[in-house]
Amino acid sequence: MLLCRCAAPWVLAMGLIGTGLPAVQAAAPAAPTLYSQLGGEAAIAKVIDTFLTVVGGDPRIAPSFAGANLPRLRTLLVEQVCEATGGPCKYTGRDMKSSHAGMGITEAQFNALAEALYTAMDREGVPYALQNRLMALLAPMHRDIVTR
């Protein structure tokens, strides 16, 4: 196919100016999702693995996870973060209110979990701006999780 590098396209475009025809604009590329900026599902899974390790070593919150099905919890956390950040995953767990009902989670425990997630993201090299965007997405869960 021969491409014309002459002035004709420019002249045609200039001829449309002032004709009342709407200007043609190139579609702006879609902004990358937080999911893609974090590195996708594999990177999210690494953060969750590190998060669970940090939680397991924190005496303020580790006892709350005694007896938990950790492989299932890992799967649900990856799904949840993946979906919340605009990824293709579908969260298959229960809503936060019913899944935490009766656990008596305190403000201090919730904050310790947030610290653990920040620590995990730091260890996995997630930039601070992305950390804050993720935490802003997760913060509204506070009202359904903290009951004491």
The DSSP string of the chain is -PPP-SSHHHHHHHHHTTTTPPPP-PPPPPPPPHHHHHTHHHHHHHHHHHHHHHHHT-TTTGGGGTT--HHHHHHHHHHHHHHHTT-S----S--HHHHHTTS---HHHHHHHHHHHHHHHHHTT--HHHHHHHHHHHGGGHHHH---
Residue 100, annotated as binding a ligand: yes
Residue set of the binding site? 100
Residue ranges at the known binding site for heme: 100
